[in-house]
Amino acid sequence: MERYLVTGSAGHLGEALVRTLRDRGVPAVGLDTLPSPHTDVVGSVTDPDVLHRALDGVTRVLHTATLHKPHVGSHRRRDFVDTNVSGTLALLEAAAGAGVAGLVFTSSTSAFGRALTPEPGGPAAWIDEDVSPVVRNIYGATKVAAEDLCELAAREQGLPVVVLRTSRFFPEQDDRDTVRAAYDDTNVKVNEFLYRRVDLADVVEAHLAAADRAPALGFGRYIVSAPTPFTRDDLAELAVDAPAVFRRRFPDVADDYARWGWRMFPTLDRVYDSARARAELGWQPRYDFRAVVDRVRAGDAPRSPLAGAVGAKGYHAVPAGVYTTQHRGQAPEESRTD
């Protein structure tokens, strides 16, 4: 029988993975630096003894533990290297030694860095797996380094690994003051499903699909984002008049937006293409732009029941902006992205 290890189990994605596996009757061991109802082993992925204990009997690993972008302003670069790079290396080596059948590493579309920003006057960037990262900050730099270690482990140690670069799925408000001031939060999130957001439940399904496919793939790297309705032919216009493209593709939803007092963003700088993940992993996301609009029309929140159950986590022990919640202690090894 399969037995999963989920690192970062007290965090947003980690909890969702443990919940889902246990609900399906699949044994799951949660590992985190913080105790939680979903954590069985309290400790760090950098600790070999902790990893040895956590990996006992495990056949698949889902590695969500990370320092992430909201920690850039509160943690040293060394901390990012210790957790995101050294911690990942320790886990890869321990997993290979334990003979696990596959490991899924949760990366981020933030790994693309400056490649997400088009040249002035240029079209929006079309982001697929063929785009090369251009480093922007320590978070992205350490995610790319960890991805490379994953590939090395696959090629040199024979450990099947799939890297998933996930787009936004966190429930907190946008961290930009100008966006929060100008748009209703639900409006922001629904807009993002057109080009840079994915629902937590679909991220979970992508991880489980990747874990299943890892042995056959050996190594793979995929973007996980809600399917975009846009094409490459839309990129030039999206960069200067995104509402025009939106109205042309979704005239009925544009009418809803008008009734709700919502607006499409004036321009888009990038579009994520997750077609390869759907084709090669057999991933079938349920929450695309149409689906979340239909939920809003029905009076529901534009998120899955799983996302609602997990809720917001926060990322710091003391208030540190929109990514903080009062009930959450500082947890360097929880997962959020983009």
> Residue 68: its pLDDT value, please?
74
> Residue 75: its pLDDT value, please?
63
Asked, for residue 211, whether it belongs to a domain, the answer is yes
Give the β-pairing of 102-108 and 125-127.
unpaired
Asked, for residue 295, whether it belongs to a domain, the answer is no
Asked, for residue 330, whether it belongs to a domain, the answer is no
Asked, for residue 13, whether it belongs to a domain, the answer is yes
In angstroms, the first-to-last Cα distance of the chain is 34
Asked, for residue 132, whether it belongs to a domain, the answer is yes
Asked, for residue 103, whether it belongs to a domain, the answer is yes
Give the total number of structural domains in the chain.
1
> Residue 314: its pLDDT value, please?
63
Angle made by CA atoms 195, 267, 230, in degrees to the nearest 5: 35
> Cβ distance 245 to 194 under 8 Å?
no
The CA–CA distances, whole Å, from 264 to 65, 257, 260 equal: 34, 8, 12
State the residue range of the domain holding 10. Answer: 4-176+198-230+271-288+304-310
d(CA 221, CA 315): 27
Asked, for residue 145, whether it belongs to a domain, the answer is yes
> Cβ distance 155 to 92 under 8 Å?
no
Q: From first to last of its 338 residues, what are the pLDDT tens digits of the chain?
A: 899 999 999 999 999 999 999 999 999 999 999 999 999 999 999 999 999 999 999 999 999 998 776 656 656 778 888 889 999 999 999 999 999 999 999 999 999 999 999 989 999 999 999 999 999 888 889 999 999 999 999 999 999 999 999 999 988 888 788 999 999 999 999 999 999 999 999 999 999 999 999 999 999 999 999 999 999 999 999 999 999 999 999 999 999 999 999 999 999 999 999 999 999 999 999 999 999 999 999 999 999 999 999 988 765 455 555 444 433 333 333 333 45
d(CA 49, CA 137): 31
Asked, for residue 182, whether it belongs to a domain, the answer is no
d(CA 179, CA 199): 20
CATH code where residue 132 lies: 3.40.50.720
